[in-house]
Every structure is written in C-alpha cells, then in structure tokens.
C-alpha cells in the first residue's frame, strides 16, 4: 500500500467472540469530516480499547451492572460522564424510559457521530440520547472553571427539557487520549462526579461506585535493566540523559524514580513475590478528596524484588459483586510500575529467614493535581 510522508493511515480492527480481523487503509478524510449517516463511519480507538470492547467477559460485566441499576428505577436520567460509547448505547437500549446524556469530553464530534450512526442502524430512538459537546474537566481544572462548566451543563439540560436530577451516573471509566497514562488518571471520573454533585438525586446510582488501589511486589529483571541509569560508556558520560529517559535503576540517593505506565505482561520475565493487596479505596458516593493508605505485607515467594506494580480495580456495584480489574493479568490496561533503586533479595518469613521478609507500601492521593505519591520500605 503506497503512502506518502505525513499521510494518515486508518487502522480498523473488528473483534467477535472467536475471531479478530484487521484492515489497513489510507484515510482521505479527517475524522471530523465523516458523515454520520455514512455506512462506513468508523470510530478510531487504540488497539487496547478495541480489544476491551471485544472482550466478552468485560462486556457481560458492564452490561450486568448497568442492567441491575436500570431495573431498580422506572424512569431514569442517565449521564455518561466519560467517553464510553459502549455505556451510552447500552443505557439507551436498556429501557425506553431511560434518557441518556453523554458528555464525550475527548471523543466529542467523533463520539456524537458514532452514536448517531449506530442509533440509525439499530433503530434506537435518537430522542432518548443527547450529547453535550462542551470541553469538560480534567483533574487539574480550577473551581472557577468547574462552576462555569456546570452552568453550561445545566443550560443544556434546560434546552433538552430535562430535569436537573441525575438518577444514574456512569463511567467505564475511559477518557479518550488517556491510554498511555497512569491508571489513577482515570480517577478524573471522581472529579466529574464532584462537579455534578448539585444535580445528583438523593438516591443517585453511581457506576462504578468506588475504586481500589491495588499493588503487588514483583521480580522484574528485564524491565529494571531496561530502566537503569546510564553512566560512562566508552569514555563518554551519558548520565545527563537519565532524567529525560526516566531512568530509575541505580539512581543515586536520595533521588526517586517516577512511576512508569507500562504493560507489565510485555516486560519480559516477571514473578509475583506477594499476593495482590489493597492499599486504599476511593469512594465515589462522596465528593473527591485526599486519600491515604498504608499497608505492610509478607512476601509469599523468595526471589529478587525489583519494585511494585500498582493498578486500579473498579467496583461497579454497591454489592461488590462486579469488579473490573486492570491488574497485570489483564492485557488491555497499563499498570504503574515503581522500581527500586537497587534490586533486593527477599524470602518467605519463617525459621532461619535472614533476608527481607515483608514490604511496606504507603500511598497518598492529591485531588488537586491527580498525582499519587508512593513510598515503600522492605524489612
């Protein structure tokens, strides 16, 4: 397929329960120029997101949580706070009495056109689905911006003759463009929920209802070596590029390396040295606020510890029966990797143990910046 420099390429992936097919073609039109009525309109997402939407287990879990929420009410005003086209269409199909408003802060026109195209093709009532195309909040927005955007949302509610009380607030959470970021950046959903606090009904159902910061100590020799600090090579000092490259291993004290977003399953040889544990929880039934957690765990296997892997588990319902994990065993999401300055030999606690037998992990979440500060110690 001949292409020229600067030309955009369209990569299409179609997943069924048993097969995966791909199509590669040049794109003559920009995304915003697609006609929503055209039969060949495609929503361009990352390969990982396409894989998530193609995963039968994931779809079944989200569908079950949403249908359980919808069945509890006769008439619903549902707001999809993030860029989830799946939740938008699922909510619209769940009940004829459900009115859906989607914000699509990242997808914007692409999301609007896609939902319209699917609605036209599947016979959905377009009057039950509205999209508010406003620039929405990030974790770094100010209170003044928050009040301004809320007034825009309420103004659009009036335009659509909708009541101000939101009965169901949904997020996967998924924000278009966040694919390469750390897992807790999707706590932006909590920020959005807080912004809409004044228009939530007293018995609002929020999905997910909470999130858990999970972690595991791991042996990651290949990944640690790939992130070692550079020194003198063939007589040339390369240490000046360590900060630029995000080097973590062999950092001189008291410097701390960053938490790196990475697909752990792609990092070569890996081994879990502790069971997965919960560091802290984020309760979406309350407005966003600072969170702190600290836990000490024993190693369950002996080996060389290179760092900690952190991720978010999303609890979709109040009964804690449906939990969507983004941990290392899941290949669709990146985890946060906090590498040690030097690998440490560890062993299982017991008679005769002379090495480190336990690990302490402490984390603090700052809602104003969306940053997570992690401290650790081995003993």
Q: How confident is the model at residue 146 (pLDDT cuts 50, 70, 90)?
A: very low
The answer to whether position 354 is within a domain reads yes
Q: Give tens-digit pLDDT for 27-79.
A: 543 433 334 444 556 788 888 898 999 999 999 999 999 988 888 677 788 99
pLDDT digits (tens, 9 = 90+) for 89-137: 999 888 777 889 899 999 988 888 888 888 888 888 777 888 876 544 4
Regarding whether 313 and 259 lie in a shared domain, the answer is yes
Question: Could you tell me the pTM of the whole model?
Answer: 0.81
Tokens representing 115?
Answer: 């939902």
Residue 313: give its domain's CATH number: 2.70.160.11
Is there a domain that residue 346 lies in?
yes
Domain of residue 300, residue span:
211-378
The full DSSP string for 217-243 is: EEE-HHHHHHTBPP-EETTEE-GGGHH
Question: What is d(CA 302, CA 161) in angstroms, rounded to the nearest whole number?
Answer: 63
* pLDDT at residue 16 tops 50: yes
Same domain flag for 173 and 281? no
Give me the CATH number covering residue 145. Answer: 3.40.50.150
* Count of domains forming the chain: 3
Do residues 242 and 175 share a domain? Answer: no
Tell me the average pLDDT across 283-309.
Answer: 96
How far apart are alpha carbons 249 and 266 in whole angstroms?
18
Q: What percent of the chain has pLDDT over 90?
A: 49
pLDDT at 22 exceeding the cut of 70? no
Are 182 and 372 a contacting pair, CB within 8 Å? Answer: yes
């Amino acid at each position: 397929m001949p292409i020229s420099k600067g030309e955009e390429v369209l990569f299409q992936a179609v997943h069924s329960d048993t097969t995966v097919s791909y199509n590669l073609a040049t794109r003559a039109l920009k995304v915003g120029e697609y006609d929503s009525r055209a039969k060949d309109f495609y929503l361009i997402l990352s390969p990982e997101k396409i894989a998530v939407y193609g995963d039968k287990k994931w779809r079944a879990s989200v569908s079950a949580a949403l249908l359980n929420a919808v069945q509890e009410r006769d008439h619903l005003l549902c707001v999809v706070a993030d860029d989830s086209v799946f939740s938008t269409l699922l909510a619209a199909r769940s009940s004829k009495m459900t009115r859906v408003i989607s914000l699509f802060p990242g997808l914007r026109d692409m999301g609007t056109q896609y939902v319209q195209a699917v609605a036209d093709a599947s016979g959905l009532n377009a009057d039950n689905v509205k999209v508010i195309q406003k620039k929405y909040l990030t974790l770094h927005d100010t209170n003044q911006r928050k009040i301004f955007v809320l007034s825009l949302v309420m103004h659009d509610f009036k335009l659509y003759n909708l009541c101000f009380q939101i009965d169901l607030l949904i997020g996967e959470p998924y924000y278009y463009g966040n694919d390469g970021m750390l897992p807790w950046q999707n706590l932006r959903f909590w920020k959005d929920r807080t912004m809409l606090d004044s228009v939530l009904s007293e018995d609002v159902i929020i999905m997910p209802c909470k999130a858990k910061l999970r972690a595991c100590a791991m042996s990651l020799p290949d990944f640690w070596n790939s992130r070692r600090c550079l020194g003198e090579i063939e007589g040339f000092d390369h240490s000046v590029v360590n900060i630029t490259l995000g080097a973590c291993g062999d950092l001189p004290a008291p410097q701390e390396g960053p938490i790196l977003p990475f697909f752990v399953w792609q990092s070569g040889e890996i081994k879990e040295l502790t069971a997965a544990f919960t560091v802290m929880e984020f309760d979406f039934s309350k407005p966003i606020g600072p969170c702190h957690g600290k836990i000490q765990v024993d190693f369950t296997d002996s080996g060389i510890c290179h760092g900690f892997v952190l991720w978010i588990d999303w609890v979709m319902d109040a009964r804690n029966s449906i939990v969507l994990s983004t941990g290392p065993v899941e290949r669709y999401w990146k985890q946060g990797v906090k590498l040690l300055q030097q690998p440490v030999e560890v062993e299982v606690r017991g008679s005769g143990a002379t090495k480190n037998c336990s690990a302490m992990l402490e984390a603090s979440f700052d809602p104003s910046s969306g940053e997570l500060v992690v401290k650790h110690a081995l003993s």
